């Protein structure tokens, strides 16, 4: 019978450099959020959201890509998802949309869902051009940068000793970087789905498309869902439908993922990272969690929970 805490095996220690990139992202984003929180910028949230995202993500990402050297981007899964992945992406998106909203309702974070939805709702665009500009700046740009950082670089670095570690750390760090305790379960749920889509499709672009599409759909639709939730006379039916849609989409998503993995195994395309011994994954996960940079990321997230 295997032990829950196995003996530490002999393995080569890793160079834990990705933690410094993550720490820089956390600190820069925390600083940008505090700056915009302390100072009023009138009716221009469409400008401040992408500026904060660009300041927080681009310099650390660019520095890390430069450090890793030429050719590193070839391993970031930037290929376009294939047509066989379309059903899985649709089911994942439906589960993400209804599941995230449901979790925010249950945890009391409804009014701040999405972290970028609040400024959009408070400054409703009056023209089609303002709407498109808000969707691009508040939704698409931050979504693509987050996907590249957490489900591109971070997942690639942490999966070298097994995908379980990448799934856990990418999900937790992605959720924490939003500095939103009320919607933390919703972000954890989204992070899990994004990581599963990444490994099922083998395409970072699939994750970026899903994340950006969710942001684009959540921005204009969110306020109507909030109004429906607050003013409906049958809240139980409202929640029941959301639970039903979420569970149904998750079941279909799992069936699609299982079919994709089965086809890969039949073709002999099984990833060696799926066969990393349990004891190696266990201790390399502990090594990553105990990384001082990752611990400081947690500290920055706690500071953001308190200050923002």
DSSP string, 146-178: HHHIIIIIIHHHHGGG-HHHHHHHHHHHHHHTT
Q: What is the pLDDT of residue 45?
A: 53
- Specify which of 69-73, 100-104, 258-262, 282-286 reaches the highest per-range mean pLDDT: 258-262
- For residues 68 and 17, give the distance between their C-alpha atoms in angstroms, rounded to a whole number: 10
Model confidence over 107-125: pLDDT tens digits?
Answer: 875 554 444 444 334 445 5
Collapsed DSSP state (helix, strand, coil) of residue 139 = helix
Residues whose CB falls within 8 Å of the CB of residue 114, separated by 6 or more in sequence, listed in order: 183, 215, 218, 219, 222
Model confidence over 28-65: pLDDT tens digits?
Answer: 999 988 887 776 554 555 566 677 888 999 999 999 99
Burial 182-191 (b: 16+ CB within 10 A, else e): ebbbbbbbbb
Confidence check: pLDDT of 73 > 50:
yes
pTM here? 0.89
Confidence check: pLDDT of 273 > 80:
no
Q: What is the pLDDT of residue 88?
A: 97
Residues whose CB falls within 8 Å of the CB of residue 7, separated by 6 or more in sequence, listed in order: 279
Whether residue 305 contacts residue 179, with contact meaning beta carbons closer than 8 Å, is answered with yes
Q: What is the pLDDT of residue 44?
A: 53
Q: What is the pLDDT of residue 126?
A: 60
Q: Which of 53-62, 142-151, 263-272 has the lowest average pLDDT? A: 263-272
Higher pLDDT among residues 212 and 234, named by residue: 212
Confidence check: pLDDT of 195 > 90:
yes
């Amino acid at each position: 019978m295997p032990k829950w805490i196995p003996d530490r095996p002999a393995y080569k220690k890793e160079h834990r450099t990705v933690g410094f990139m993550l720490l820089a992202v956390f600190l820069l984003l925390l600083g940008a959020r505090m700056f915009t929180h302390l100072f009023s910028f009138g009716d221009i949230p469409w400008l401040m959201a992408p500026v904060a995202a660009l300041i927080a993500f681009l310099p650390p990402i660019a520095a890390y890509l430069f450090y890793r050297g030429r050719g590193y981007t070839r391993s970031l899964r930037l290929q376009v998802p294939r047509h066989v992945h379309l059903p899985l992406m649709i089911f994942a998106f439906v589960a993400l949309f209804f599941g995230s909203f449901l979790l925010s309702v249950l945890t009391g974070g409804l009014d701040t869902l999405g972290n970028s939805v609040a400024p959009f709702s408070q400054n409703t665009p009056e023209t089609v051009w303002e709407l498109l500009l808000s969707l691009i700046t508040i939704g698409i740009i931050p979504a693509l940068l987050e996907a590249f950082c957490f489900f591109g670089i971070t997942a690639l670095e942490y999966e070298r000793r097994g995908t379980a570690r990448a799934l856990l750390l990418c999900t937790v760090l992605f959720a924490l970087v939003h500095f939103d305790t009320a919607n933390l379960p919703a972000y954890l749920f989204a992070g899990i789905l994004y990581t599963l889509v990444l490994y099922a499709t083998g395409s970072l672009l699939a994750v970026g498309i899903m994340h950006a599409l969710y942001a684009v759909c959540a921005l204009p639709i969110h306020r109507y869902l909030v109004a429906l939730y607050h003013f409906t006379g049958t809240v139980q039916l409202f929640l029941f439908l959301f639970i039903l849609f979420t569970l149904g989409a998750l079941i279909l998503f799992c069936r699609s993922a299982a079919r994709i993995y089965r086809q890969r195994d039949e073709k002999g395309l099984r990833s060696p990272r799926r066969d990393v011994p349990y004891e190696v994954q266990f201790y390399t996960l502990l090594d990553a969690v105990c990384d001082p940079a990752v611990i400081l990321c947690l500290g920055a997230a706690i500071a953001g929970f308190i200050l923002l």
